[in-house]
Amino acid sequence: MRHFLIAFLCLSLLASCAQQAPGLTPTPVPTRAILPSATAMPSVPPTVTTAPLVPDFKHIVIIVFENKEFGTVIGNRLMPVFNDLASRYTLLSQHYAVAQASLPNYLSMIGGDTFGINRNCEDCFINAPSLPDLIEASGRTWATYQEDMPSPCFVGSKVNYVMKHNPFIYFDSIRLDADRCAKSVLPLPRLQTDLEAGALPNFIFITPNLCNSAHDCTLRVADDWLNMQLSTLMPALDATNEPYLIILTWDEGQGNHSCCGLPEEAGGRVATILISPQVKNGFQDPTPYSHYSLLKTISESWGLSYLGHAADELTALIIAPWR
């Protein structure tokens, strides 16, 4: 009877109890095969893909007009093309120039500084790096197309062409390198030649002459000129099926408005439009920006270092408009 009870208990507990009942062999209890759990396998962390702050554009184009405040341009019936573009693409509604003279504003767009220049001089050359240096180092190409410039790399002003609207010629590393300068500092007709040859540079800076920039002529004249330029440029960029950005802006306004780390009296509020398949349509970005923001955003798109005030914390990177 004692052996029977021990055997019964052993079957209920574990086979090890059989040692307490000599001569009895417990009936084996079938067991389930246990598959390794998912957590038992080494896990690979998922790859986190972070969207870039600014698209990687294949081409970036800047076209600069002259001396008009935001309120003079936006809503003005003399500029139907400009205003149509402002309504269909992205308008930066709080964009500010950095000074009240043409040259320092142009310098700020490609050098990140005014370099202490506060006038429209023609002998104030600069020994400092500029955006073209960084572009070339990255393996990209650049050119400026200057309307009515007499010849490539021309130094000085002549009739409707003025040197103060061509910031590239002020940088020693460009002007003093004859081959480099002649290759990339060009009269405007070369743009059409490069368009037809499918040889557009990655970075393009276009300056109208004194009339077509609205410096000396009406806004209607500037608007007609813009329409003519975009009628060939935009189809050529669209045909590449690659990301591109066209920036329309003004060197300065008539007011002394300021923002984002600029002097208390800066260069006025200017109308700036971003045209691209990658921007939000019908969008107004109220973020305070300056010309340094344009340089910072171009540099971010192409992974370039920030020059001068483009690196300032108060210089906002343009990120809101991108889809």
Domains in the chain: boundaries = 59-311
Locate 182 and state its tokens.
Answer: 């002649």
Query: Alpha-carbon distance 242 to 35, whole Å?
Result: 51
Q: Which pLDDT band, with edges at 50, 70 and 90, does 28 fall under?
A: very low
Query: Alpha-carbon distance 226 to 246, whole Å?
Result: 12
Average confidence (pLDDT) over 63-77: 98
Which pLDDT score is estimated for 46? 62
Task: List, in sequence order, the alpha helices (H) in 112-184.
Answer: 131-137, 172-175, 178-184
Residues 201-231 pLDDT 10s: 999 999 999 999 999 999 999 999 999 999 9
Average confidence (pLDDT) over 68-97: 98
Which pLDDT score is estimated for 10? 41
Q: Could you say which DSSP state residue 218 is in? A: -
Query: Alpha-carbon distance 152 to 137, whole Å?
Result: 22
Query: Alpha-carbon distance 49 to 31, whole Å?
Result: 45
Residues 168-205 pLDDT 10s: 999 999 999 999 999 999 999 999 999 999 999 999 99
Q: CATH topology for 59-311?
A: Alkaline Phosphatase, subunit A (3.40.720)
| DSSP β-bridge partners for residue 270 | 95
Burial of 220 (0-12, 13-18, 19+ CB in 10 A): middle
Element (H, E) at 81: helix 80-88
Residues 101-149 pLDDT 10s: 999 999 999 999 999 999 999 999 999 999 999 999 999 999 999 999 9
Average confidence (pLDDT) over 280-291: 98
- Report the relative pairing of strands 244-250 and 59-65 from DSSP bridges: parallel
- Please check the confidence at residue 298 and state whether its pLDDT lies above 60: yes
Query: Alpha-carbon distance 142 to 25, whole Å?
Result: 91
Which pLDDT score is estimated for 256? 80
